[in-house]
Amino acid sequence: MVDTGDIDAFPGLDVGKGEHHATAVTPVGKKAFEKRLPNTEPKLRELFAKLQAKHGTLLVVVDQRPPSGPCRRQSPGTLAARSPTCRT
């Protein structure tokens, strides 16, 4: 079980080949963000920076389907390479 008491917002990404769909909620369930995003790391970084500036600590949830696989290796420096956990 993960203690989420210090989490201020929960962004969720539905990862797609062409674009992603992002939604974020607060701990009380209030929608903080919902939008389609281009499939680019700069746009994801921008989203996370804006949410962090507005809400504080984030816990990101990702829905990613095969064939890309949930835990594929990424080159150093990418967002996925710095992910603290990867569970299937």
CATH numbers and ranges of domains, the chain: 10-82 (3.30.420)
How does DSSP classify residue 16? Answer: -
Q: What is the pLDDT of residues 36-84, one digit of tens each?
A: 988 888 988 999 999 999 999 999 998 877 655 555 555 555 555 444 4
Give the list of residues 6+ apart from residue 44 with CB closer than 8 angstroms, or none.
13, 20, 37, 79
* SS3 labels along 29-52: CCEEEEEEEECCHHHHHHHHHHHH
pTM above 0.75, yes or no: no
